[in-house]
Amino acid sequence: MSGPGARDGAARAAFLDMLAAERGAARLTLEAYRRDLEDYAAYLKAAGTDCVQVATPGIRAYLLHLADLGLKPSSTARKLSSLRQFHQFLRAEGLRDDDPALVIEGPRRAAAAPKNLSPDEVERLLGVAAEGLDDPQRSRHERMRACRMALLLELVYSTGLRVSELMALPKAALRASAGLVAVTGKGGRERLVPVSDRARALAGTYLEALASAAPGLAGARWLFPSDSESGHMTRQAFARDLKVVASAAGLDARKISPHVLRHAFASHLLQNGADLRVVQELLGHADITTTQIYTHVLDERTKAMVRDLHPLGQTGTRRR
């Protein structure tokens, strides 16, 4: 290596060779690393240093440079990941005796508010799914599929179950007289979720349709049986059918998913005054910080409460 530039280039090439040989990195992955490191090296060269000499403040200055260019925090975090691995490699290979990237924290990314549907949009979905459930022109199989979709939509919106939990519900789940369903969620944690009378009524209609259309499946233990490997309907099948209903309801099918309906369940509860910890329990979140992605709903509700209920928030009210 005759100088800093050649030293930098050789170090980057050796790192990429290691990724390809030892980690089996794909071509596109290697190209992404190559671009990240070339950009980093160009910045260091302009700053009068290189990857072997740069100290921690120099790396922080590079990250600030990326922010000044308007790079999104997610993109900056990806580049920082590349730099961390690169500097770990330099130290492991004896090209440096320290790791200047070790103490650097990545850019903080605000939790994005989840996609949501308005109550009116959900009602449109439910209405379309419930249309013609008793239509005599439909075949037995078509009626069963229609009843199943109506029940699925009612359940996911009225309970907030994860789609994996919904698909794996046993047939006996909705027969409890107490109107509660015991759900096994992530980590094997169990919780009780209330089930609406409407959902239980739809379940009876659906199970009758299932017995008529697919008697071979009607004896299965699952509420939504199928001939899939798991023995029950897959989340992909539900998501696909849901998009068909969304299009029929005049909604953008690209923005509709079972997970979006779970978000609607939580958001609409909070908008109507539910406590955040109650919503946490219903969603099956182990940590309330996960539920706090919905605090934007609480913020808006708090602002509206102060505006509407506090004397100084009311139009025309004067301080005396």
Amino acid at residue number 200: R
**Pairing relation of β-strands 190-194 and 180-184?**
antiparallel
Indicate if 307 belongs to the active site: no
Phi and psi at residue 72, to the nearest 5°: -65, 150
Q: Is the dihedral of CA 161, 167, 172, 174 positive or negative?
A: positive
**157 given a catalytic annotation:** no
Q: Catalytic: which of 140, 141, 175, 186?
A: 186
Mark whether 268 is an active-site residue: no
232 noted as active-site residue: no
User: What is residue 193's DSSP assignment?
Assistant: E
Task: Report how far residue 36's alpha carbon sits from residue 16's, in angstroms, rounded to the nearest whole number.
Answer: 12
CA separation for the pair 68, 55 (Å, rounded):
20
How far is 106 from 98, CA to CA, in rounded Å?
Answer: 19
What phi, psi does 190 have (nearest 5°)? -100, 145
Is 294 tagged catalytic? yes
- Please pick, among 87, 96, 148, 162, the residue that the annotation labels catalytic: 162
Residue keyed to tokens 């005049």 = 250
Q: Is 191 a catalytic site residue?
A: no
Residues 87, 232, 262, 263: which is the catalytic one?
Answer: 262
| Residues tagged active-site | 162, 186, 259, 262, 285, 294
